[in-house]
Amino acid sequence: MTKFRYDINALRAIAVLSVLFFHLRMPFFSGGFAGVDVFFVISGYLMSRIIFDGLDNNNLSVFDFWGKRIKRIVPALLVMVLIVSITGFFFYLPNEYKANEGNATSSLLFFSNISYWKHSGYFDSASENNIFLHTWSLSVEWQFYLIYPLVLWVISKIFKAKKQLTIFIAVATLLLCCLSIFWTYRSATASFYLLPMRTWEMLVGGLALLAERRVTFKNKALLIASYIIILLSTILLNNKLLWPGVFTIIPIVATFMVLVANQNDYAILKNGFIQFTGKISYSLYLWHWPLIVFAQYMGYQLNTLTICAIILLSFLLAYLSFRFIESIKLKNSIPIILILGILAYSTNKLTTIDANKRFFKKQTLEMAEYNDTHGLEIHKQFSQNCCFVSSGNDKLEDFKKRDCLKIDSSRKNFLLLGDSHAAALSSSLREEFARRNINFLQATAAFGFAFLDDNGPSDYCHQLYKYIFYDFLIKNKQHIDGVILGGNWFPHPKEVVEPSLKVIDYLKKLGIPVVILGQSNVYTIPFPSIIAKGLENNTDLTAFYTDKKTALFNDFMNEKLKPYYIDIYYRTTIPKLSPNLDPYLFDTDHPTKYGADLMVKKIFSDPRFIQFLNR
């Protein structure tokens, strides 16, 4: 009988706490997302042990393997989805509730990772508002469970000797790791979500099992170092890194070392809290994210009190789920599959009907559906597929240099650089510059700042700004009368000030004036939803849902980047709806065309910008 692995349970605890604290945006856990990768390795190890034991004893049943996985994973997931769906019915606006139920369906049928990849266009609702976002990793694991035993069974027939099988898995792991890193540069979103680029992480777990059976690893210092590396990964890594990528190898190898060591005789590993957290880790993972999203949807910001409440409630619900659902020993998986089918059908049906529409006023519904009815206008506003390269394109070739960077030697030429927040202002800036007979140029890219070096996680950002700074501006410096930098600088104070100063210094040396468009207002849920809720209750909820850290951040940026910083932040009031009932923002932080027009008026009336224009 296999002895209980306290070390694996400790790894589970480290992994789930890392993810929890990362999602709560707690200090020192900027790399907490690596906890998911640790889970992948553990899962690969445990599944490999079950499958190899079956192969060794010549009694492997793939259907039995799948059945046990269903009994282990699905019941707790079913209960979580059911409770979240019932709760959401009473609190979520109809279009948001329908979106939630669509995500619930993909979660229950274990293709949410594919769904989020396919629908991860830049203008979709922010991922932070997707209450089932975290189920992407469960979908990846389940897809792995479906394929892995079949592949191992076939390979075991080809390679009879364990040494040959080990070499095959090692080579496959290496090749898939290289593919993953390569594909992350090509399409970061696909690489993050899809099974082929994540399989190598679980195969590393399989290698750990094979290595454990052949290697005696008793080096205490190396074992301790492996735990420390995992912990440091959660502290030192950050979500600006390409992931999965080269840095992903660090926590993966460290987890591999811990598994191979198979050392249980350390008091800290048997610590009651660590072991308790490890035992409830699956349910804790299931429940923590819905609680975070729902709290923010209800207007509770992630301050100390809210974070403590979410942590306590997460542990409570995780314990109840573990005690009364996970711990139930089910003999048959058929009833679970039937219930799964019924719930998946129900959630899918709820995406096609307005189940809770009757509870809301007409004007509330019209505002809540703003993005659905104005989608084309929003895309046009950004100069999409022309001067704005987004994650939906993933290719620099979609940037039209001839149209977007056309110099007019008979007029002044001003160039806009930045991320999607800069692009959101482009149409309004273009119109205002045209009124002044000034030529407007644009080079913008999603998820990337217009910095000299660190432009963000996407390869197209690096390519675009490398071309702009080290080719285009050098060749055309005598024709460029000014550069405008824009972006959603929050919440990266230390990460944006120094790079911004470097850009300013670089452009100064080229003799090109520059200004930086300041931080705009940010909200914890989409702005149309805030207005809709306010219309429903005849109240102004904008202050309640304002991310209060942005005002402090804006002041910090203004102080550090004088005299180049153009302040566009609304401190005391927020613009009312336009005569056509357009809100100021269409999501948590991007302006509508109406909002962009107001921002541009604010920009052109700023004394610093007036001085910039007249140089």
Asked whether residue 305 falls in the same domain as residue 386, the answer is: no
Which pLDDT score is estimated for 605?
95
Predicted confidence (pLDDT) per residue in 20-75, tens digit: 999 999 989 999 999 999 999 999 999 999 999 999 888 989 999 999 999 999 99
Task: Categorize the per-residue pLDDT at 119 as very low, low, confident or very high, splitting at 50, 70 and 90.
Answer: confident
The answer to whether position 359 is within a domain reads no
Pick the most confident of 63-77, 161-175, 397-411.
Answer: 63-77
The identity of residue 467, as a single letter, is Y
The answer to whether position 172 is within a domain reads yes
Q: What is the Cα–Cα distance from 139 to 194, expressed in whole angstroms?
A: 9
Q: In this structure, what token pair is assigned to residue 264? A: 């249980």
Predicted confidence (pLDDT) per residue in 343-367, tens digit: 999 999 999 998 999 989 999 999 9
Structurally, how many domains does the chain consist of? Answer: 2
**pLDDT tops 60 at residue 395:** no
Give percent above pLDDT 90 in the chain. 72
Predicted confidence (pLDDT) per residue in 219-275, tens digit: 788 888 999 999 999 999 988 788 999 999 999 999 999 999 888 888 899 999 999
DSSP label at 389?
Answer: E
Lowest mean pLDDT among 55-69, 101-115, 359-373, 380-394: 380-394
Among candidate residues 252, 248, 251, the one with its CA nearest the CA of residue 180: 248
Q: Is the four-CA dihedral 234, 236, 238, 244 of positive or negative sign?
A: negative
Contact 226, 257 (CB under 8 A): yes
The pTM of the full predicted model, rounded to 2 decimals, is: 0.86
Contact 599, 428 (CB under 8 A): yes
Which pLDDT score is estimated for 431?
96
Number of Cα atoms under 13 Å in the Cβ half of residue 62: 11
What dihedral do alpha carbons 13, 104, 114, 126 form, nearest 10°?
-80
Asked whether residue 401 falls in the same domain as residue 261, the answer is: no
Q: Cα separations (Å) of 610 from 69, 437, 518, 555, 613?
A: 65, 15, 15, 21, 5
Asked whether residue 254 falls in the same domain as residue 382, the answer is: no
Asked whether residue 179 falls in the same domain as residue 132, the answer is: yes
**pLDDT tops 70 at residue 2:** no
End-to-end CA distance of the chain: 80
The answer to whether position 360 is within a domain reads no
Within 8 A by CB and 6+ apart from 364, the residues are 93, 532, 533, 535, 536
Which pLDDT score is estimated for 152?
93
Asked whether residue 326 falls in the same domain as residue 388, the answer is: no
> Could you please report the per-residue DSSP string of 296-351?
HHTT---SHHHHHHHHHHHHHHHHHHIIIIIT---S-SHHHHHHHHHHHHHHHHHT
Which of 303, 323, 350 marks a domain boundary? 350
3-class DSSP state of 443: strand
Task: Categorize the per-residue pLDDT at 76 as very low, low, confident or very high, splitting at 50, 70 and 90.
Answer: very high
Number of Cα atoms under 13 Å in the Cβ half of residue 482: 22
Asked whether residue 390 falls in the same domain as residue 289, the answer is: no
Contact 593, 377 (CB under 8 A): yes
Which pLDDT score is estimated for 216?
67
Which of 350, 382, 404 marks a domain boundary? 350
The answer to whether position 332 is within a domain reads yes
| Better pLDDT: 490 or 151 | 151
CB 159: neighbour CB atoms within 10 A? Answer: 15
Asked whether residue 152 falls in the same domain as residue 227, the answer is: yes
The answer to whether position 356 is within a domain reads no
Asked whether residue 324 falls in the same domain as residue 380, the answer is: no
Which pLDDT score is estimated for 122?
46
To the nearest whole number, what is the mean pLDDT of the chain? 91
Strand arrangement, sheet containing 439-445: 388-389, 439-445, 413-418, 482-486, 514-517, 565-566
Which pLDDT score is estimated for 386?
83
Predicted confidence (pLDDT) per residue in 198-207, tens digit: 999 999 999 9
Task: Categorize the per-residue pLDDT at 492 as very low, low, confident or very high, splitting at 50, 70 and 90.
Answer: low
The answer to whether position 262 is within a domain reads yes
Task: Categorize the per-residue pLDDT at 416 as very low, low, confident or very high, splitting at 50, 70 and 90.
Answer: very high
**pLDDT tops 90 at residue 218:** no
Among candidate residues 533, 517, 548, the one with its CA nearest the CA of residue 583: 533
**pLDDT tops 90 at residue 494:** no
CATH of the domain at 483: 3.40.50.1110
Contact 401, 146 (CB under 8 A): no
Place of tokens 């660090």: 250
The identity of residue 305, as a single letter, is L
Asked whether residue 415 falls in the same domain as residue 333, the answer is: no
Which pLDDT score is estimated for 250?
97
Which pLDDT score is estimated for 314?
98
The answer to whether position 51 is within a domain reads yes
Report the pLDDT averaged over residues 495-516: 93
Q: In this structure, what token pair is assigned to residue 210? A: 């094979």
Within 8 A by CB and 6+ apart from 195, the residues are 113, 140, 143, 144, 147
The answer to whether position 357 is within a domain reads no
**Domain span at residue 459?**
368-613
Contact 409, 578 (CB under 8 A): no
Which of 303, 322, 350 marks a domain boundary? 350
Among candidate residues 607, 613, 583, the one with its CA nearest the CA of residue 596: 583
Predicted confidence (pLDDT) per residue in 523-556, tens digit: 989 999 999 999 998 898 998 999 888 998 999 9
Among candidate residues 201, 209, 206, 208, the one with its CA nearest the CA of residue 35: 201
Report the pLDDT averaged over residues 147-167: 89
Within 8 A by CB and 6+ apart from 320, the residues are none
The identity of residue 114, as a single letter, is I
Place of tokens 């930045």: 418
> Torsion-angle region of residue 447: left (phi > 0), alpha (psi -120 to 50) or beta?
left
Asked whether residue 341 falls in the same domain as residue 390, the answer is: no
Q: What is the Cα–Cα distance from 147 to 433, expressed in whole angstroms?
A: 57
Report the pLDDT averaged over residues 309-332: 95
Q: In this structure, what token pair is assigned to residue 56? A: 């060794």
Asked whether residue 394 falls in the same domain as residue 482, the answer is: yes
Asked whether residue 157 falls in the same domain as residue 286, the answer is: yes
Provide the H-helix boundaries in 121-219: 136-158, 162-186, 188-193, 199-212
Predicted confidence (pLDDT) per residue in 261-318, tens digit: 888 888 899 999 999 999 999 999 999 999 999 999 998 988 999 999 999 999 999 9
Place of tokens 């001839």: 402
